[in-house]
Amino acid sequence: MLSGLGKPVVLKHRMPSKAMVSAAPVQNVQAVAELIDAAQALLAARKMSETVALLRPLVPAALSADLCQIVGLLHLCAGASDPALMWFGHILAICPSDAGAHHGRAMALHQLGRAEEALAAYDAALRHGASEASFFYDRGNLLRSLGRRDEAIASYDEALRRRPAYPEALLAGAEILAESGCDDDALRFYDEAIRLDPMPIAALLGRGLLLQRRGRLEAAIATFERALALRPKDADLLCNKGVALYHLGKLTEALCAYDAALHVRPRFPEALSNRGNVLMLLGRHEEALAGYDAALAIRPDYVEGLCNRALALQEVLRLDEAAADFEKALQPGPSFPHVRKNQAMLRLLRGDFERGLEGYESRWSHGGTLKSQSRLDLLEWPGPAAGFGRLLVFDEQGLGDAIQFSRYLPLVASHGADVTFVCRASLQRLFRGLAAQIDSVDAVPPKRGFDHQIALASFPHAFATRPATIYAPSPYLRAEPERIAHWAARLGGQGLRVGLCWHGNAENKPHLARSIPLAAFAPLSALDGVRLISLQRCDGLDELADRPMKLEILGEDIDAEGDAFVDTAAIMMSLDLIVSCDTSVAHLAGALGRPVWTLLKRSPDWRWLLGRTDSPWYPTMRLFRQDVQGDWDAVIADVAAALKGFAKF
């Protein structure tokens, strides 16, 4: 907000008294009143330049102080800060103690970016008796823009004390509360601002964005729709609705929302880029690239657009062009950690571990992880040269990442490290057998001293890993013997027992492209002697009803106690082979040392590198790659051919 002038204000002016008229040689009073009324009508219609042009013939010396104040405010609302400053200055030259003129001058100075002068003008207004709620609200806006948050809050509080039903001040309070993480209080302020304001577009937008950030996407969409009912052709609202629909996985509806936003505002780089993101998930990569190109034609230095185009170029394996876009996106400075992280993953994909692992450390700037949330004043473990000592290690990212990098815990423990592993509860039972010296906990223990901290996926960087030196013990995880015996009895020993996982985590957008339609695996079930056994736990089960193949379902009691993968690991020990899309099941099979075939989309995740049929991370893994993006049939045909010659392990 800027000086409380987020929307045009209809000013209530009063005609000057006879005393006022006689005190100054005013122009025709009725003509001036009619001109001011006409200016207010233009302002209400958002015709700013026409408003200023209409007011131009007026001369301050010919008007009373009250009329000068009104004309100054009209200029201010029209964004004409310099003329406004002149009008308020004229009043103060005649009457230096006019609090209203000091207030108006402060708002004009704020609009001009002269913040310190504006604050001095607010202080002068306060000294001369400024007492209206709007004064404290406007002063709060300036203090907030200067980063003086506590003083701004006090000023907003004073505005609300003087006028409790003040939607603009309630909105400012909601925004500050949201910025401070006080989401529930912020929602209450937003709701009250919405209740009081007949056109609460800004409050509805803020409420929707807050709900979206909290993951309450349906409620966010409903809030955006309330705002759109008031302003149907608001491109920003349509774009934000599209973002919520995108995160909800309603891609077709998100595309419609972005198209509607672009119909209203064709030159809208954010909507073009966001639309490209939807097209990427729909597999329409060339259309997505065209959208990113259009966004960048409008704004060549648009960092998000450059980053998104780089990801799209990476998806179609135009890797040199992707690298160039990442470099260009980072030219403004180092303050874009997500771009640096994505650049790092491209470098890792290409085998440049030296620069890639260094850049991958930028992921901590995102927040949202156990390590970043803890905010410990504790040095990062730089590697073996610093000794091992007492290490605080953080679980991080997805289940597959945790499984992949947990291999380093026994390694550092074997070198004498005293390891405390802060790990999500669902994985603790699976990781229990890593090493006896590892103390696995749910949260950072209070009052326990540590020498260093490190996150799981930072171990390769700490060990200066290169593709040829990847630490790859096999196995490094073990299933529980009693669970192995239980599932071995249920599975029996007949046939070639092939565990199948076809779908990743539906909440993880990249998993949508990595997942494979269950029907694509029909050729495997047609092979003599092959038993396909489902390892799918949650996502993808809706495809079972129409499966055109023989697929054994082991029941709903797999890992039903909330301990991730405990039963799945035991089942794998009685399987001859695991066939999986790129998801945590593939990592688990590799960590257990089981034979596993992992099926990869054309542009794979960085850890699988390029062009290899093996994985340096997992000695028992074989990789099957798409030659054509989206073509799983050819991949399954290769798997079927390999199965015909597969010997039991």
Residues present in the chain in total = 649
| Distance separating alpha carbons of residues 636 and 597, to the nearest angstrom | 11
Q: What angle do the packed helices 183-196 and 167-179 form, to 10 degrees?
A: 160
Cβ neighbour number for residue 405 with a 10 Å cutoff? 23
Per-residue pLDDT, 321: 98
For the stretch 373-384, pLDDT in tens is: 556 778 899 999
The contacts of residue 401 (CB under 8 Å, 6+ apart) are 456, 457
For the stretch 499-546, pLDDT in tens is: 999 988 766 665 567 899 999 999 999 999 999 999 988 766 666 777
Arithmetic mean of pLDDT, 454-479: 96
| Distance separating alpha carbons of residues 63 and 633, to the nearest angstrom | 82
Per-residue pLDDT, 49: 93
Spatial strand order in the sheet of 614-615 = 530-534, 496-501, 577-581, 596-600, 618-625, 614-615
| Distance separating alpha carbons of residues 217 and 222, to the nearest angstrom | 9
The contacts of residue 591 (CB under 8 Å, 6+ apart) are 403, 404, 406, 407, 475, 476, 477, 618
The residues of the chain that CATH labels 3.40.50.2000 are 481-644
Task: Please say if the pLDDT value at position 10 is more than 50.
Answer: no
- Answer yes or no: are the C-beta atoms of 430 and 477 closer than 8 Å: yes
For the stretch 574-610, pLDDT in tens is: 999 999 999 999 999 999 999 999 999 999 999 999 9
| Distance separating alpha carbons of residues 601 and 597, to the nearest angstrom | 13
pLDDT class for 112, splitting at 50, 70, 90?
very high
Name beta bridge partners: 615.
618
Per-residue pLDDT, 18: 31
- Spell out a b/e string for 146-165, using b for 16 or more CB atoms within 10 Å of the CB, else e: eeeeebbbebbebbbebbee
For the stretch 632-646, pLDDT in tens is: 999 999 999 999 888
Distances in whole angstroms, Cα of residue 175 to Cα of each of 134, 198, 207, 209, 277: 18, 19, 9, 11, 28
pLDDT class for 101, splitting at 50, 70, 90?
very high
CA angle 169-172-174, nearest 5°? 110
pLDDT class for 19, splitting at 50, 70, 90?
very low
Arithmetic mean of pLDDT, 64-89: 93
For the chain, what percent of residues have pLDDT higher than 70? 91
Q: Could you give the maximum distance between any two Cα atoms of the chain, in Å?
A: 110
Per-residue pLDDT, 88: 94
Task: Please say if the pLDDT value at position 94 is more than 50.
Answer: yes
| Distance separating alpha carbons of residues 641 and 628, to the nearest angstrom | 18
Architecture of domain 277-366: Alpha Horseshoe (1.25)
Per-residue pLDDT, 493: 87
Q: Which of 272, 349, 338 is nearest to 314 (CA)?
A: 349
pLDDT class for 25, splitting at 50, 70, 90?
very low
| Distance separating alpha carbons of residues 226 and 220, to the nearest angstrom | 10
Cβ neighbour number for residue 56 with a 10 Å cutoff? 10
| Distance separating alpha carbons of residues 38 and 74, to the nearest angstrom | 11
The contacts of residue 131 (CB under 8 Å, 6+ apart) are 99, 162
For the stretch 285-317, pLDDT in tens is: 999 999 999 999 999 999 999 999 999 999 999
Arithmetic mean of pLDDT, 193-203: 94
481-644 CATH pick, 3.40.50.2000, 3.30.450.20, 3.40.50.300, 1.10.10.10:
3.40.50.2000
Per-residue pLDDT, 274: 97
Task: Please say if the pLDDT value at position 11 is more than 80.
Answer: no
Burial zone of 132 (CB within 10 Å; 0-12 exposed, 13-18 middle, 19+ buried): middle
Alpha-helical (H) ranges within 214-250 are 217-230, 235-247
Task: Please say if the pLDDT value at position 367 is more than 60.
Answer: no
Per-residue pLDDT, 513: 75
pLDDT class for 562, splitting at 50, 70, 90?
confident
| Distance separating alpha carbons of residues 494 and 530, to the nearest angstrom | 9
| Distance separating alpha carbons of residues 160 and 170, to the nearest angstrom | 8
Per-residue pLDDT, 448: 75
Per-residue pLDDT, 365: 60
| Distance separating alpha carbons of residues 139 and 133, to the nearest angstrom | 10
Task: Please say if the pLDDT value at position 104 is more than 50.
Answer: yes
pLDDT, mean over the chain: 89
Burial zone of 385 (CB within 10 Å; 0-12 exposed, 13-18 middle, 19+ buried): exposed
Q: And the tokens for 95?
A: 């009457």
Per-residue pLDDT, 541: 67
Q: Which of 83, 82, 77 is nearest to 58 (CA)?
A: 83
pLDDT class for 397, splitting at 50, 70, 90?
confident
For the stretch 221-233, pLDDT in tens is: 999 999 999 999 9
Arithmetic mean of pLDDT, 21-33: 58
The residues of the chain that CATH labels 1.25.40.10 are 18-164, 277-366
Phi, psi angle pair for 77, to nearest 5°: -65, -30
Q: Which of 80, 56, 70 is nearest to 11 (CA)?
A: 70
Per-residue pLDDT, 468: 96
Which CATH class, in words, describes the domain spanning 18-164?
A: mainly alpha
